[in-house]
Amino acid sequence: MNEKKDEKRILSLLVDNQPGVLSRIVGLFSGRGFNIESLCVAETNDPLVSRITLVTWGDTVISEQIKKQINKLINVIKVLDYTGTSFVQREMALVRIRAKPEHRAEILRTVDIFRGRVVDVGTDFYTIEVTGDEEKINAFLNLVKPIGINEIARTGAIALAREKQ
């Protein structure tokens, strides 16, 4: 194991669903110079608990420190590290693509291959919804880039561990 190698980490945090909790976590990252690549927050089935899915990177020492620091926050109930475990991960992107008449068929075909959906159609643009892991979304974006991407909104990753077999 290379301790010094930077590695991406997917953390899933269960936290008290209270005002200010997100700011404690984000403040911890900025104050200690840790990285956040993406972050998603929403309530869980327990209305008192929110789940934050957070993608970060760093070497093993930093990652351990990040997890310990987060755990230390009073409002953090649990820190799960999905890195290297069996989990499902999804991200959604909304992509507005320039849709000249000669490109429309190709766009629709690509959307179809990626099991995306056209969610809005205008005179000049299509807005597409795609979900998948990060790689799949990047692959889709690469394919439609030459056609002309007008705007993108991405959610960042959310993840859940697979059921234990």
The residues that touch other proteins, with contacts defined as CB under 8 A, are 20, 23-24, 27-28, 31, 61, 64-65, 68-69, 71-72, 74-78
User: Measured from the CB of residue 74, what is the shortest distance to other proteins in angstroms?
Assistant: 5
Residue keyed to tokens 């000049």:
124
Give the nearest distance from C-beta 61 to other proteins in angstroms. Answer: 6
Q: Cα(129)–Cα(152) distance, rounded to whole angstroms? A: 10
Token code pair at residue 62: 């930093």
Q: Which CB, 72 or 162, lies closer to other proteins?
A: 72
CB of 51 to other proteins, least distance (A): 14
In degrees, rounded to 5, the angle at the alpha carbon of residue 20 between the alpha carbons of residues 67 and 25 is 20
> To the nearest whole angstrom, how small is the minimum distance from the Cβ of residue 105 to other proteins?
52
Q: Closer CB to other proteins, residue 62 or residue 144?
A: 62
CA atoms within 13 A of residue 144's CA, in its CB half-sphere: 36
- Cβ at position 49, least distance to other proteins in Å: 10
Which residue has tokens 């807005």?
A: 127
Give whichever of 46 and 120 is closer to other proteins, judged by the CB atom: 46
Identify which of residues 68 and 115 has a Cβ nearer to other proteins in the complex.
Answer: 68
Identity of the residue, 63 or 127, whose beta carbon is nearer to other proteins in the bound complex: 63
**Taking a C-beta distance cutoff of 8 angstroms, is the pair 72, 25 a contact?**
no
d(CA 92, CA 148): 19
Rounded CA-CA distance 75/161 in Å is 22
